[in-house]
Amino acid sequence: MTLFRPERDELQLLRLCRELNEAGHRWEIRLGQVVVSPPMGRKSADIVDRLCDVLYPLKPANGWRLYQCWGVHIPPLPDLRLPDLMVAPDVVEQYDDMRIRGHSALLVVEVCSPGGTRVVDWREKPLDYARAGVPLFMIVDPVAAPRTVTLMSGPLPDLEPFDTRQPYQEVVIAEEGEALELPEPFGIKIETGALFG
């Protein structure tokens, strides 16, 4: 019989992840398993850059940071999601040096790519980020027809890893060309057409 030793297993996971990071790979931890994903493509990178342009004026006035390479801890396992963009205050509650606790983030953004990662963005990540307590989760989907920007808010507080309920209390979908209101502490409208270029 093999004994499960969470502390040792977590240290082994983190060691592997650091090695992958040093080798230039993009990775996440899902249900205790390391998942290596392809790097972001040019179109997705451009969308993230345009969204950063929209959010940047809020950054200095509020003491916020925009991260594209820092993870979110997904409890209760040592899981980690690496969002395409995360907005967080300067002072956050860290889980460790590679990730913050989700409730410390202000906004987490994923940009869909064609194929399997799009399915993960829509099926797994809303539940994971809600379980972590991320207050605002945005999915930018340039693959959909029409292209959309979806904002989820109000994570349910009692979610389990395989919960089948809608993980966020409110879901707002804006099609390309429509304005999407980003609530406080942002208090701005995003012109979705500008994100897609």
Quick: pLDDT tens for 1-42: 344 445 557 788 888 888 888 888 888 888 888 888 888 889
Domain 40-196 has CATH 2.20.25.90: no
Structure confidence at residue 8 (pLDDT): 59
The alpha carbon of residue 5 and the mean position of all alpha carbons in its chain are separated, in whole angstroms, by: 28
8 Å CB contact between 45 and 175: no
Structure confidence at residue 83 (pLDDT): 96
Phi-psi region of 154 (alpha: psi -120 to 50; beta: other; left: phi over 0): left
Angle at 176 between CA 175 and CA 179, to 5 degrees: 75
Q: Report the percent of the chain where pLDDT is more than 90.
A: 71
Tell me the C-alpha distance between 148 and 2, whole Å: 47
Structure confidence at residue 2 (pLDDT): 41
Q: Any residues with CB less than 8 A from the CB of 148 and at least 6 apart, and which?
A: 139, 140, 141, 173, 174, 175, 176, 192
Q: Which positions of the chain have pLDDT values less than 50?
A: 1-5
Structure confidence at residue 9 (pLDDT): 77
Structure confidence at residue 3 (pLDDT): 40
Domain boundaries, the chain: 40-196
* Full-model pTM: 0.92
148-155/136-141 β-pairing? antiparallel
Structure confidence at residue 27 (pLDDT): 87
Q: How far apart are the first and last CA of the chain?
A: 56
Structure confidence at residue 32 (pLDDT): 85
8 Å CB contact between 149 and 174: yes
